[in-house]
Structure 1
Amino acid sequence: MSRREDEAIKLLKKALKRAQKKGKPNEAYEIGMFVAEMYIYKGDVQKAWKCKCLAEEGVSDARPSLYKAIISLMGNKEEEALQHWKNFKETQNQTTPPGFEEDEFTELKNAVNLLKQDIDSATQ
């Protein structure tokens, strides 16, 4: 939240287009994830939600569901966030031993609330 997020997003979007033109879908996906993350840090959850990488189905990466949970919490949609959190944990458990605990979601919720406060402070 250095107030240089817009600059970073512009650079990342250029890199994303280059990767797409070169036919490098994995690179494009990773860069797209960075763009979504930057929008989250910026507090622009609507633009973050629209990032193509978050809509891809069948991805073995747990981050899209995690980012969707964060975005939903930032938008005060707790039930939606909880479902994305569960999807995140299911995807994560495919590669690591299972261990879902309700406390983890509460910790995420608290961390997102702190992030929102930091974003609000930085943008005022």
Structure 2
Amino acid sequence: MPHFSFGHSSLSLSNASRTHLMGHAFSPITKKKTLSLRVSAFPRGGKDALKSLLDVGVYLASQVELNSLGFPKTPSLEQANTLYKNEAMRLLKSGKGNEAEELLGKAIEECGYSESDYYLAIILAEILIFKGNYQQAHKCLEDHQLPSDARYALYKAIVCTMLDKMDEAEKWWESFTEGRSDSVIPNHPEHQG
């Protein structure tokens, strides 16, 4: 399992992790979504995934006030990260974390099964992780999967670790640290053989 060191301003992952992906024995996914997504639209490597999660902390620590802008019903990745994520961070920073969850939850419902659904669910998972709502983050991630996005594996690893699901967490850490653009998400329909 990876070794982490937490400092007041950094998170580092040692290179002691295994570099190969082992077999996985997860229970079947109960809610499956078939998404037709452009793989190139998602961050591919582990560094991008860590940056996305750590950006939440940067937003929370910043003194900048973010303004609410109009929210498109089906946002692009860029719109999700600039409009929805910034507004969710503003709400979280001002002690209105539940409102941030509601904003993202409502937006996810409105956009249905699309790329936008996934973009917003990942942001919601980030918010839930920072609020310490690991069980809700776990469910959110179970309901929204995409094999090519390293953030998914990272967030699953964090959430499973915090929920003391160590066998599952180890497998997700291995998937994340492998850091390849063709990482396989265990039990994902696209990777069943």
**TM category, shorter:** 0.5 to 0.7
Question: What whole-Å deviation, never above 9, does each CA across 1:42-90 have from its counterpart, x for those lacking one?
Answer: 1111111101x44555621111110011112222344432211111123
8 Å CA contact 1:54–1:65 kept in 2: the answer is no
> Which of 15, 23, 30 is the matching residue for 2:119?
30
Asked if residue 83 in structure 1 is aligned to residue 175 in structure 2, the reply is no
How far is 1:12 from its partner? 0.6
Asked if residue 69 in structure 1 is aligned to residue 161 in structure 2, the reply is no
Q: 2:149 aligns to what SS in structure 1?
A: coil
Residues matched between the structures, number: 90
Q: Note the 1:3-14 alignment, pairs <5 A.
A: 3-14=95-106
8 Å CA contact 1:39–1:48 kept in 2: the answer is yes
Q: 2:137 aligns to what SS in structure 1?
A: helix
Q: Note the 1:33-44 alignment, pairs <5 A.
A: 33-44=122-133
Following the alignment from structure 2 to structure 1, what is the Cα–Cα distance between the partners of residues 121 and 160? 19
Question: What whole-Å deviation, never above 9, does each CA across 1:15-65 have from its counterpart, x for those lacking one?
Answer: 111211xx6x111100011111111111111111101x4455562111111
Following the alignment from structure 2 to structure 1, what is the Cα–Cα distance between the partners of residues 154 and 180? 13
TM-score using structure 2 length: 0.41
Q: 2:164 aligns to what SS in structure 1?
A: coil
Structure 1 residues without counterparts, runs of 5 or longer = 96-124
CA RMSD of aligned residues (A): 2.2
8 Å CA contact 2:121–2:144 kept in 1: the answer is no
8 Å CA contact 1:72–1:80 kept in 2: the answer is yes
Following the alignment from structure 1 to structure 2, what is the Cα–Cα distance between the partners of residues 30 and 50? 16
Following the alignment from structure 1 to structure 2, what is the Cα–Cα distance between the partners of residues 58 and 15? 19
Q: Note the 1:104-119 alignment, pairs <5 A.
A: none
Q: Tell me which amino acid in the other structure corresponds to 1:74.
A: M
Which residue matches 1:99?
Answer: none
Following the alignment from structure 1 to structure 2, what is the Cα–Cα distance between the partners of residues 44 and 12? 15
Structure 2 residues without counterparts, runs of 5 or longer = 1-91, 183-193
